[in-house]
Structures are given as structure tokens and as C-alpha cells.
Amino acid sequence: MYRPGDIIHRYGIEDFCIGTKGENQIWDYSSLRTDSKDFIVEYTSDKDNDDIVVEISNGTRYYYAQDSTAIRNVGYENNNIAVEFDRPETVLVFPLSFGNKRAGAFHGSCMYCEEVMARDFGTYSVEVDGKGKLLLPDGKVLDKVYRVHYTKDNCRIAYDDIHTTKELVEYINKTHYLSNDSIATLTANQDNCYRHTEVYKWYAEGFRYPIIEAIVYGKNDNGWNNTIAYYYPPDEQEKLYDTENERTRSLCTNGDNVTDSKNDESDSYDNKSNDGSLPYTIENGKNSFVIHTSVRNAEIYVDALLSDISGVVLRRASGNSDSPIIIDCTGLISGEYAIRITIGEKIYERKVHYNNK
């Protein structure tokens, strides 16, 4: 998830090719060329709402609400326009598991140049449509990479006879309310559509922000379109103080500490880590992971964190080592996760696969 205080450097990419979707992909961008000038993306807190994270990019402030399942755009503003969504648009889904998808409608009020009032609405779809390896210009290869494909059809209707935000909100919410089905119908008619946009982002395990981002936009998606792409160098992201993702990167480069947990017999945990070589075992309970330790001492404290592959902590459980530690997974969807177990002063980390059955 986005984190207040982070400052990210990104560089424009010349002649970028989107590539293909699917599993077991190898996206070879080893020869891509980037501009020397960097663009700054900054994240901060909203002074009026601590639950909102603000992204400042290219002179625009984007406002996001986020939780363990998704990041949602609740509005944006710059010197020309201010948009506030009463039905936010989902821009990213968790966990980053291949095939995870969400679609819906968004809607809000819009003020242009503090004079023109309008409603802003449309449909969106966000899907993790690719998984594979990413080959980068510096020769680095990132093995566990997920591509997120976001699509949006955006419409806007201006009202010449409405002059204040209060009048606009009352009109669009009471006098002329649009249901999600109505929005989908209006958006499907390309004569009404303001802009079609597609965004592709490549996320790698152990990095909070994308490695590559490509934006394809055009009016009605025909007649003309344009692609803008950015490169977020991994070494720049590694400079962030981000202990959870540092641990994840360490796991990705240390094959002895982590194995792929998927197998034909069980999707809950890998057998290698339950062979007695470690002081704990992990079992798949009903909507939970159950951790048993071999340290039978009531005075030793055990703490367990469950996070998604981007390092966002989703669940936590703790107790003494002489009792099972149960991580409740209710509400989580099937996918890959990481468990960090602290037994006394020792820390162990594992990759697991959860099936929401």
C-alpha cells in the first residue's frame, strides 16, 4: 500500500512495448531507454483525514483510501479541476495474485476552474493479468513479478445552469441520480465517453511501488491514442526505510529460507518447512493458519504476522509457545502470502498459499 512520507523517483521510457499477459511470462526490458530527468512522486497524509493517503504527481493531488483488499481513488485536484467521488474507483487489488480481478462503476462531482460544474463517472476494471520475470536495463532480473492491468472509461457531463457545488451535489444525488447500471449503459455508448484509459503496472515481490508503469489513453479508444511509460528503478526504492519489504527481498534471494508453497497435495503450506528442521509447523485450519512450536516453555513469547507479497501486514496473532497460535484468515481471498514468526529472539519467515474454501 502507499505510505505517507515516501518519495519516489521515476524516469520516462522511450518507445515502450506493453508485452503480453498470462503466467510464466518473461518481460524483457533489458534494452529499454530512459530519460535522464526524473519525475518525483510524493506521498503524504491528508491534513483533514488521517485515513486518506495523498499522491502528488505532475502537479496533481490524488486522494486514496486503502485497506487489505484494495486501493481506491476517492478524488483528485489541481489548478484547473477538483473531483470528489461519492463512489470511488478501485485502482489496485490485493493480494497480487494472478487472476485476481475487480470491476465496477465510479461517480462523483467535478468543478472546473471554480466555475463550471459537472458530474464525473464511468466504469473500471482492474486485474492481475500477468505473472513472470522482469529483465531490467541494469542487468537485474526480478523473478516474482505481477502485472496489473487497469482499464477505465470516463465520462463527464457539464451543467450550465448549476453554479455552486451544493447545487451540483443535490442535483446528481437526488434529482438525477445515476445507478451503476445506468453508468454502465451511458459509458458503453462511445458518443458519451470522454476518455478511455488503460494502465499497466509491473509489481515485484519486496517492492512497495511498481517497477514499470505504462499509461495508454485516447478519446473513445479510437482515432488516436498515446502511451506514456515510466521506470521506477529498484535501487531507488531500496533506499526507502521499509523493513517488511526488505525482509521479503531477502527471502526472494535466499532459496534456503523459502520455497513455493503450491503442490499437488496441498495448497496450505510447503512440506519442507514441516520436516522437523525448524522449531515450528504450520497447519491449514478452517479459514486460518495454525502454528505449533516445539518449544514447550510458557515463558517464551510467540508472535506471528501474515502479510501480502508487497509487505502489507494483514493479520497478527500472538501467545505463549506452549499453545497453538491461530492466524484468522476470514475475509482473505486465495493467493500467496508471507508469514513472519518470532519465537523468543529468533525470527523465521515463510511463504504460504491460502485457499479460501
152-211 pLDDT per residue, tens: 999 888 888 888 888 888 887 777 778 888 888 888 876 666 788 999 999 998 899 999
Model confidence pLDDT, tens digit, residues 41-94: 999 998 778 789 999 999 999 999 998 889 999 999 999 999 999 999 999 998
Verdict on whether the full-model pTM lies above 0.85:
no
The set of cell numbers assigned to 291 is 502454528
Mean pLDDT of the chain: 84
Question: In 82-175, where does DSSP find H-type helix?
Answer: 165-170
Q: What's the mean pLDDT in 234-239?
A: 87
CB atoms within 10 A of CB 215: 15
* Residue 332 per-residue DSSP state: P
What phi, psi does 129 have (nearest 5°)? -105, 0
What phi, psi does 202 have (nearest 5°)? -105, 115
Burial of 187 (0-12, 13-18, 19+ CB in 10 A): buried
Instruction: Write the DSSP string, 206-257.
Output: T-SS-SEEEEEEEGGGSS--EEEEEE--HHHHTTS--HHHHHHHHHHH-TTT
- Best mean pLDDT range from 88-97, 309-318, 335-344: 88-97
Model confidence pLDDT, tens digit, residues 115-142: 888 889 999 999 999 999 999 998 899 9
| Residue with the larger pLDDT of the pair 194 and 146 | 146
What phi, psi does 185 have (nearest 5°)? -65, -45
